Homo-oligomer: A and B are copies of this chain.
Amino acid sequence: MPTQTFFNLPEEKKKRLVAGAMKEFSAKPLNEASISNIVKNSKISRGSFYQYFEDKKDLYFFLIGKFRYNYRNLMLKSFQEKDGDFHEGYKLFSEKYIKYIMESEKFGFFENMYLHMNYQINQEARVDFKETKSHKLPNGKRIVDVVSRDNLKMTSDTELIDVLRYILSMLNDTIMEGFWKELSVKETQDLFLKRLEWITYGIAIPAEKEEKE
Chain A positions near chain B (C-beta within 8 angstroms): 29, 31, 86-87, 114-120, 123, 151-154, 162-163, 166, 169-170, 173, 176-177, 179-180, 194-195, 198-206
Pairwise interchain contact A202-B205, C-beta atoms closer than 8 A: no
- Once bound together, how far apart are the Cα atoms of A64 and B36, in whole Å? 33
Q: A204 → chain B, closest Cβ, in Å? A: 5
Q: A200 → chain B, closest Cβ, in Å? A: 5
Chain B residues in 8 Å Cβ range of A114: 119
Interface SS majority for chain A: helix
Pairwise interchain contact B204-A86, C-beta atoms closer than 8 A: yes
Q: A115-B120, A119-B114 are in contact. Are A203 and B203 (CB under 8 A)?
A: no
Chain B residues in 8 Å Cβ range of A173: 119, 169, 173
Chain B residues in 8 Å Cβ range of A29: 120
Q: A163-B198, A166-B195 are in contact. Are A204 and B116 (CB under 8 A)?
A: no
Pairwise interchain contact B199-A154, C-beta atoms closer than 8 A: no
